[in-house]
Structure 1
Amino acid sequence: MSETSVSQDPVPSGGRQAGAHGASSSKAALAVGAIGVVFGDIGTSPIYAFRETFVGPHPLALDTLHLLGVLSLIFWSMTIIVSIQYVTIMMRADNKGQGGTLALVALISGRVGRTGYGWVAVMLGVFATALFYGDSMITPAISVLSAVEGLTTVEDSFEPFVVPIALVLLIGLFLLQRRGTAKVGRLFAPVMLVYFSVLAILGLIQIVQNPGVLAALNPWYAVQFFLTDKLLAFLALGSVVLAVTGAEALYADMGHFGRGALRIGWFGFVMPCLLLNYFGQAAMIMGLEAAAAADAIRNPFFLMAPDAYRLPLVLLATCATFIASQAVITGAFSVTHQAIQLGYVPRLSILHTSETEHGQIYIPFVNWVLMIAVILLVLTFRNSSNLASAYGIAVTGAMLIDTCLMAVLFIAVWRWKMWIVIPAAALFFVFDGAFFGANLTKVPDGGWFPLLVGAIAFTFLTTWSRGRKLMRERMSEVALPIEIFAKSAKNSAIRVPGTAIFMASSTAGVPSALLHNIKHNRVLHERVVILTVEIAEEPYVDPERRIEFHDLGDGFYRMVLHYGFMEETDVPAALKQVNGCGGAFDMMNTSFFLSRQTLLPSKNPSMMIWREKIFSWMLRNAATAMEFFRLPTNRVVELGSQVEI
């Protein structure tokens, strides 16, 4: 019996190919689009970051030393962490144009393989992903709440309505997710362009009145702050870091706009606008009398605007925080989709909200979990200052992990000389480590929340990955070789017209659904295809490598569909492109057979009992392969099997 291996060159079934932005789309145009989508998180930080440094858990005196010291810390943190670490260096670490922690882990693991530190890198990446879920819960709550609190600068009587208004806005935001963001997205860029421009104008007006604040560009003021108030300066880092939250989002969203557009947007527009606003807030406080300064520091962002323009500023800031929250929520959908593809999350129901943009997805389970968590956060913490105590630890934890992965990248992938690696990595470890250490002091005041969410998410991610691996190993141990099965089955069963496709998790052996079908029905279709979907550790797979099949003879074929972790697994769309595997696939004459596994208690379990129970629960509640692979509902047959792990 001869065996042939054939590769097809189909039209891509979906996904955004790296660099496929269209020749007519200039970097400047992409940069404008990025301003509306990517920079919302870091762009809304001026609303609360500078304020929290002085009125947070560890208040600072409103004198020149502390004002210039904090301002210098903000400037140099933004320069070193955002501009150098993320925008300049990390954006070079693209996985076929894609960024983000999971893409970085896939890039590293592809080079270091199964070595000891390769496994550590994978676990660090998974934990950073888990921390992201805690961050994606707090970001919408603190952003929208801080903007709505600006109403109290217009009229004190608005204070009782702050929490209800914030809740209505947040609930509305989550309810809108099902409709998709395409229409709303068109408004994002103009609104954010206006928002950043207003930030710059308000700051510039104050700087002109008090230009002495520009002295904070000198790092000596940050050093002097530490030399004078060592402990307070260290604790202040817990609030200063709020000015750079969102830096990791720039790297994660690199695939949508390209590094060039993001760098233009950051260096050419966003960073100058943010710095002008921070310096303007400090200039305003420095120009006030002590009593007036103490009152103004409670909300310096909104008080920079004249009384007549304060309400419009509140409305503009609220729109900006709404956009920033939208970006975080869609980011959670994207990260979850990547985690599903890479085998860390069970299959979930994924809805596509756009017929033209395959990247726009909606995951109901993630949306409702985030909404419930955000509502509870707002009701529990009540104001943005309290939430600031919970905010930051997840972000700084993820940044520290990114720094660790970056060091591995320098050595294992880019092969940099150690005399370059050591000082470069040490600089970022000092900054990120100091920020993370300062935020650890927030744990009793609310920092426990993102850590708890991260720990729970990490447990679920690793439990599913481990359980899935064990289940596949157990099934492969008893799997019958396909060659033996094909020879014995061709004369022992009746062949009926049509095509039967048996979905298999492994490229070796006979799937249990095929064994059960011939055992109970005693028939075989004229064409039997054993189909496996494999997800590569890269965001996109080249179209020519999408489809691979082997002719096993007697009407039996083994087919493998290769997808990247950013792509949609649309099996019918891929089958339409197949030629030479026994003819074209007609969906009306094709039946899909799926196996649904049921776990049985094991006398010698390979996982702790509590983890096995979690895995069993996740397995029962996972979306079916029919939904995930977009199979036609009226052409699917499910056959059950039992397995011990």
Structure 2
Amino acid sequence: MQTPETATPRTSASQGAGRQGLGALTLAAIGVVYGDIGTSPLYTVKEIFAPHTGVPLDAPHLIGAVSTIFWALMLVVTLKYVILILRADNHGEGGGLALTALAARAVEDRPALRRGLLLLGVFGATLFYGDSLITPAISVLGAMEGLEVLTPALKPYVVPASVAILIGLFLVQRFGTAVVGRFFGPIIVLWFSVLGGVGLWHIAQQPAILAALNPLHAWDFLSARGWHMFVAVGAIVLALTGAEALYADMGHFGRKPIQIAWTTLVLPGLALNYLGQGALLMGDPSAIQNPFYRLFPEAWLLPALVLATMAAIIASQAVISGAYSLTKQAMQMGFLPRMRVHYTSAREMGQIYMPGVNWALLAGVLAVVLFFGSSSALASAYGIAVTLTMMITTMLTYFVVREGWRMPAPVALGATAFFLFIDALLVAGCAIKFMDGGWFPLTLGLVLFVLMSTWRRGRELVMASIRREGVSLQEFIDQLDPRSVNRAERTAIYAVADPQTVPQALLHNLKHNQVLHARNVILTVRFQDVPWVPMDRRVVVHALGRGFWRVEVNYGFMNTPDVPKALELTASHGLAVSLFESSFFLSRETVVPSPGGGMARWREKLFATMSQNAGGVVEFFRLPSNAVVELGTRVSI
């Protein structure tokens, strides 16, 4: 019943919380959007001057490194994301899949290019899952390493404490984030205020670090290192992780609150802290063991550790929630099979919990913590997935700007080339860490890409098989003699993927029960490539004659499917459906791989396994379980 289709956008309505004040939205955005990038100071500077980078720990290189971080934040985060990318909204929504749908719609008259952009966007989305594993691990490990600063005797407890915190974090996911979310904003506001305050204190003691605001020092730092520049860039990238969250969470808060939060609090807090760490190391190079925690006087270490741990948990929560939302969007765009979705808030449909995704993430995060064991080791794995996602975002945005917005070619090409150059530099800096752990998120992304592309292609083959072997619905109705069939005085609702052919469940009903219902609704659910479809365009009803109706229910990829509620809308179209007098008939397909099909044999077998284990239609579409009849059918691909 779930069939993604390309469609002209039907609504421009944004589902942002327009009722809330700008201040409340800005506070919420600080808590959710900036947790990831806000924990980067825990480990970034330490990694730039790690022994394997070969960067000398002296004043000129400290100024150059901090200058590079500052201007990376200005060019990549401020200019690219906050000023430019946030304008590429898909009816108010942002994120990789929303941008993919927007780019695909801009080139819908070129099917081959459209398909290529869809696959490119999906690959970018799969890389997010690598981030969803590494961010909780590196954030919590980086915070817990403050135990070593308190006393070296606590070093053996860093990993066990991190494991315990992460297990607790994933265990409480099923309760939802509504209650905890109220505290996110104030805590992260305090976090950025402390970052800026303690950084400013050290800057006052070593004002020479302010020379880092001159971009020439960043240029000198990179150009003087030759090809070793890429090693340093691979560490500097750590300061940019979380930039994609600015765009991904736009639908929750809107563009303006995210921009205000960045310019008024987040950017100043981060910049001052990085400058402060540079100032600290100019006066005390021995602090390189953990420059973040050494910013604090000894009496402040324990409160700083507690605050950093809370910030790390919030950063982890942001990517975990993002993984749920991304998975739901991928399902509704037809790239993943149905999975169980629990809605944890009666008021906020975006607050969801997906048990399968949650436990898979927990297993992955724990494996990452135990395998790598420290934030320094994880830093080698961190970055390549994020930078590739940034590059894919730049490429997709070109098609939105040029084809969708009709901007002049020189402007679109010039801006794209500039940001692609920066993205390529960042990717190259991370690529040299491939054998040291960078392979992990890339391999995970490739595996997920194979799964998602196989599912999409498999569903296309199933649809083609149904159309090829099916009976035309209209011909069936025209040839039907109502007097020759027993009619049950109820409504039968047949959920189908292809509304042009007779549902297999209806044929089984006729063959085995020799009965046809008085009213037969051929129901198709379609997910459009826009985030939201309003209620006044939710259903389309066509009367086919002789007791048959075709009903199409439309959702955006951010809508929450609720078929019974949608069927209530058919009354205004001349079809009154009483759920108390209706039965839902579903065809459960058993996929049979066959030689000479449209996919490699191993992919057909993979798709058959995924299809067999896909979640049920009943829960996904909120059908009344006591009114559902499932009938099996075999489909060869």
**Which residue number in structure 2 is paired with residue 314 of structure 1?**
305
1:33 to 7, 17, 28: 28
SS at match of 1:177: helix
**Which residue number in structure 1 is paired with residue 70 of structure 2?**
75
1:216, 1:65 → 2: CA distance? 9
**Which residue number in structure 2 is paired with residue 455 of structure 1?**
446
Q: Which runs of 5+ in 2 are unaligned?
A: 1-9
Deviation at 1:582, TM superposition (A): 5.8
Residues 1:500 and 2:495 are matched in the alignment = no
Residues 1:628 and 2:620 are matched in the alignment = yes
Deviation at 1:581, TM superposition (A): 5.6
For the 8 Å contact 1:56–1:385, the answer to whether it is kept is no
Residues 1:643 and 2:626 are matched in the alignment = no
RMSD value over aligned CA atoms? 1.6
1:372, 1:56 → 2: CA distance? 31
1:217 to 213, 219, 239: 213
**Which residue number in structure 1 is paired with residue 116 of structure 2?**
120
1:538 to 530, 535, 545: 530
**Which residue number in structure 2 is paired with residue 92 of structure 1?**
87
Moved more, 434-443 or 512-521: 512-521
**Which residue number in structure 2 is paired with residue 273 of structure 1?**
269
1:57, 1:540 → 2: CA distance? 49
Moved more, 330-339 or 512-521: 512-521
1:319, 1:298 → 2: CA distance? 22
Give the partner amino acid of 2:50: V
Cα deviation 1:96-153 (Å, max 9, x = unaligned): 0000111111111112013433222211101001111111111100000100011111
For the 8 Å contact 1:35–1:189, the answer to whether it is kept is yes
**Which residue number in structure 2 is paired with residue 342 of structure 1?**
333
Give the partner amino acid of 2:258: L
For the 8 Å contact 1:557–1:581, the answer to whether it is kept is no
SS at match of 2:221: helix
For the 8 Å contact 2:106–2:399, the answer to whether it is kept is no
2:515 to 501, 511, 523: 523
Deviation at 1:409, TM superposition (A): 2.1
**Identity rate, percent:** 48
2:346 to 346, 355, 359: 355
SS at match of 1:349: coil
Give the partner amino acid of 1:60: V
Deviation at 1:488, TM superposition (A): 3.3
Cα deviation 1:355-381 (Å, max 9, x = unaligned): 111111111111111100111111111
1:226, 1:606 → 2: CA distance? 49
**Which residue number in structure 2 is paired with residue 178 of structure 1?**
174
Deviation at 1:555, TM superposition (A): 1.4
Paired residue total:
626
**Which residue number in structure 2 is paired with residue 143 of structure 1?**
139
For the 8 Å contact 2:474–2:500, the answer to whether it is kept is no
For the 8 Å contact 2:588–2:631, the answer to whether it is kept is yes
SS at match of 2:588: strand
1:550, 1:491 → 2: CA distance? 23
Deviation at 1:624, TM superposition (A): 1.1
SS at match of 1:491: helix
Q: 1:44 to 1:390 in 2, by over 3 A?
A: same
Moved more, 578-587 or 181-190: 578-587
Deviation at 1:532, TM superposition (A): 0.1
Deviation at 1:64, TM superposition (A): 1.8
Q: 1:120 to 1:336 in 2, by over 3 A?
A: same
1:111, 1:17 → 2: CA distance? 19
**Which residue number in structure 2 is paired with residue 4 of structure 1?**
none
1:422 to 409, 413, 418: 413
**Which residue number in structure 1 is paired with residue 256 of structure 2?**
260
Deviation at 1:524, TM superposition (A): 1.3
Residues 1:554 and 2:546 are matched in the alignment = yes
Give the partner amino acid of 1:158: L
1:120, 1:608 → 2: CA distance? 19
Q: Which runs of 5+ in 1 are unaligned?
A: 1-11
1:543, 1:594 → 2: CA distance? 25
Moved more, 59-68 or 241-250: 59-68
Cα deviation 1:37-71 (Å, max 9, x = unaligned): 11100111011111111116314211122111111
Deviation at 1:492, TM superposition (A): 3.0
SS at match of 2:570: coil
Residues 1:62 and 2:53 are matched in the alignment = no
Cα deviation 1:327-371 (Å, max 9, x = unaligned): 100000000000000000000011111111111111111111110
**Which residue number in structure 1 is paired with residue 591 of structure 2?**
599
1:226 to 204, 207, 222: 222
Give the partner amino acid of 2:122: V
**Which residue number in structure 2 is paired with residue 327 of structure 1?**
318
For the 8 Å contact 1:19–1:258, the answer to whether it is kept is no
* Structure 1 stretches of 4+ moved >6 Å: none
Deviation at 1:16, TM superposition (A): 12
For the 8 Å contact 1:131–1:451, the answer to whether it is kept is yes
Cα deviation 1:181-215 (Å, max 9, x = unaligned): 11111111111111111101100100111111111
1:274, 1:428 → 2: CA distance? 22
Cα deviation 1:427-450 (Å, max 9, x = unaligned): 211111001011011110011100
